[in-house]
């Protein structure tokens, strides 16, 4: 789905997507984007920030509040770091500034779809992955659920992938580049700052004191690791 109020931009994106074999729906304002996502549940939403009726940031905010897992790639003429961080903080999976290369846009679309693609029917279903436990934190890949001290925690798709990667190998230190690969694949267009934003947001959700984290720790000069605070005798 493409939410873009500029007719030329919307048509350009639609043509490139259809050329790669995607079915495309185009809407012209934020309220229409919300309604269509609820009706059709697309795999990917390419979302302009500046739109009538509801801007792109409000659209992302509402979709994530409703726990909708559609991948979101935001397009905007704004290029400051604050705008980038705000979009990611609200739950966008990727962010591009205008003007952009259509080829780069398609590369990012392919990356996001690989990460979020829904499995088709399979006559021989593989076993469900086991839940991952690190102390009182549980990450369940099969159900896409996170619990801390028995309480459910809502995570965006990007936050969940990052947390699942860390939980699969507790106490292992992951570099930002390694975590970035878990989020988007080895894509030279994505900034490692994306990882820091996801970590900051996760700490707000899984730590009692986000400014003094005990589970999701920074290893200065290296990266991050997930640990069991109770296992260290803390």
pLDDT per residue over 127-176, tens digit each? 566 889 999 999 998 888 999 999 999 988 888 889 999 999 999 999 98
Token output for 234: 């803390």
- Higher-scoring residue by pLDDT: 219, 78: 219
Q: What is the pLDDT of residue 120?
A: 43
Token output for 219: 């290893």
CA–CA separation, 69 and 156 (whole Å): 7
Contacts 24+ apart (CB under 8 A), 17-23: 17/106, 17/109, 20/106, 20/109, 20/110, 22/109
Query: By the 8 A CB rule, do 182 and 199 touch?
Result: no
- Higher-scoring residue by pLDDT: 85, 33: 33
Q: What is the pLDDT of residue 123?
A: 45
Mean pLDDT calculated for residue range 62-67: 87
Q: pLDDT category, 224, cuts 50, 70, 90?
A: very high
Number of Cβ within 10 Å of residue 215's Cβ equals: 24
Q: What is the pLDDT of residue 44?
A: 93
The helix/strand/coil state of 206 is helix
Look over the chain and give the mean of its residue pLDDT values, rounded to a whole number.
84
């Amino acid at each position: 789905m493409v939410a873009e109020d500029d007719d030329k931009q919307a048509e350009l994106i639609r043509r490139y997507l259809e050329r790669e074999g995607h079915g495309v729906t185009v809407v012209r304002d934020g309220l229409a984007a919300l309604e269509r996502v609820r009706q059709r549940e697309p795999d990917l939403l390419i979302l302009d920030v500046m739109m009538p009726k509801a801007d792109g940031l409000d659209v992302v905010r509402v979709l994530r509040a409703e726990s909708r897992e559609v991948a979101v790639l935001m397009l905007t003429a704004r290029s400051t770091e604050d705008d980038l961080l705000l979009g990611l903080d609200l739950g966008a999976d990727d962010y591009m500034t205008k003007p952009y290369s259509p080829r780069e846009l398609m590369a990012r679309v392919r990356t996001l779809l690989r990460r979020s693609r829904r499995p088709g029917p399979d006559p021989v279903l593989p076993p469900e992955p086991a839940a991952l436990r690190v102390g009182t934190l549980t990450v369940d890949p099969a159900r896409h659920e996170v619990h801390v001290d028995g309480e459910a925690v809502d995570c965006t798709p990007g936050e969940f992938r990052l947390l699942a990667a860390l939980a699969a190998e507790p106490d292992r230190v992951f570099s930002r580049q390694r975590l970035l690969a878990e989020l988007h694949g080895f894509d030279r267009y994505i900034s490692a700052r994306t990882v820091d934003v996801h970590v900051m947001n996760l700490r707000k959700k899984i730590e009692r004191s986000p400014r003094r984290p005990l589970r999701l720790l920074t290893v200065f000069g290296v990266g991050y690791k997930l640990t069991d605070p109770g296992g260290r005798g803390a």
